[in-house]
Amino acid sequence: MKTILCAGALGALCMNAVAADGASVSVYGLVDVALVRETGGSGGDVTKLTSGVGAGSRLGFKGREELGNGIAAIFLLESGFQADTGALGQGGLLFGRQAYAGLQGGFGTLTAGRQYTPQYLTVVMADPFASGYAGDTKNLMAPTGNSASRMDNSLKYVSPVVGGVSAELVYGAGEVTGDSAAGRQFGGALDYTSGPLRVRLGYHNRNNDTAAIKNAGSAKNTVLAAVYDFGVVKAHVAYGVDKGLNSSLLRNTANPYGRPGTPVASSDSRDVLLGATIPSGPHTWMVSWIHKDDRGALDQDASQYALGYRYALSRRTELYGAIAHIVNRHGASYTVGSAIEGGSGNGAVDLGIRHAF
């Protein structure tokens, strides 16, 4: 106990010393746990207690140091974990959610590390479920990057907001010896906000080549999204274009419906999202419809219908429930997952709690 108290006191002293030197560091996090019922898979229905359903459970550290002349050094380290087992998320990475450092000032923000792609952030903006719960857009609208919406080895620039307009640019090195194009990624976004209206255009391009595979082409994703807040209801809409190999991967590739052959991911599709958020005091309703129009020879279209509810117990704690169902056509194999899981069938129900600190 004495050791713990001494360590805590030393940590507080160190934090105060850093603060006195013009820098600040804060610790934050989120714990999300839910009871989930997945249905429709060939292996049968499954009921489980799991983590990261509405949003991934996380522990983060972020800091800022004023360098003078309006310029600051910033960093962020964010670790994902499973609250139901205590295991690390993102395949066991220590800071698998985000890890970057950079500079910020009147010129904008320039950061380097593991970061979200601008295209994925565009989809999140349009999603009433904010890329979580059973209604997660990732069930049908593909996340970009090389790690479920994130880019490793990336440089990212975010411009200042001028007249309601801002821009993002990102570049990710493939780091393949002898081939600078293999695995390379780049993308960007334009964002416009005016009163209750927000419109965002996002794009991402990832080269499929590896050290062993050449001339595999690129996965290209473009999405235009808009949100309009009417006060009593917020309207959401998005339209996406996916072109090329790996442009719209399945979340569950283990043949969840037991069909002959290997499930096929679309390499040419169009995505449409229509949704709404309806707030009323501590109550918030979420509803969305997503349709994937597969332009490939198999015409494997799919539509997702989702309904969700959140009840705010406080500013930091909420209870939630969500239900979603996917209608797959012509052998399509899309599944209903959640913020960090791919799901095992075409239906799911969530009942959970999350707390932010």
List the structure tokens of 6.
Answer: 């001494």
Q: How far does Cα 75 stand from its chain's mean position?
A: 20
Report the alpha-carbon distance of residue 78 to residue 98 in Å, rounded. 5
Amino acid (1-letter code) at residue 208: N
Longest dimension (CA), the chain: 68
Residue 133, classed as helix, strand or coil, is coil
pTM of the full structure: 0.92
Question: Which of 53, 86, 148 lies closest to 339 in space, CA to CA?
Answer: 53
Could you give the residue ranges of the DSSP H alpha helices within the chain?
2-20, 118-126
Vertex 323: Cα angle to 255 and 303 (nearest 5): 55
Please say whether the beta carbons of 307 and 261 come within 8 A. Answer: no
- Digit-by-digit pLDDT tens for the chain (357 residues) are 433 333 343 344 344 445 556 799 999 999 999 999 999 999 999 999 999 999 999 999 999 999 999 999 999 999 999 999 999 999 999 999 999 999 999 999 999 999 999 999 999 999 999 999 999 999 999 899 887 799 999 999 999 999 999 999 999 999 999 999 999 999 999 999 999 999 999 999 999 999 999 999 999 999 999 999 999 999 999 999 999 999 999 999 999 999 998 999 999 999 999 999 999 999 999 999 999 999 999 999 999 999 999 999 999 999 999 999 999 999 999 999 999 999 999 999 999 999 999
Q: Which residues pair with 224 in a beta bridge?
A: 201, 239
Q: Where are the beta strands (DSSP E) in 230-298?
A: 234-248, 266-280, 283-294
Could you tell me the CA-to-CA distances from 193 to 167, 225, 226, 338 in Å, in that order? 12, 12, 10, 28
Report the alpha-carbon distance of residue 32 to residue 118 in Å, rounded. 25
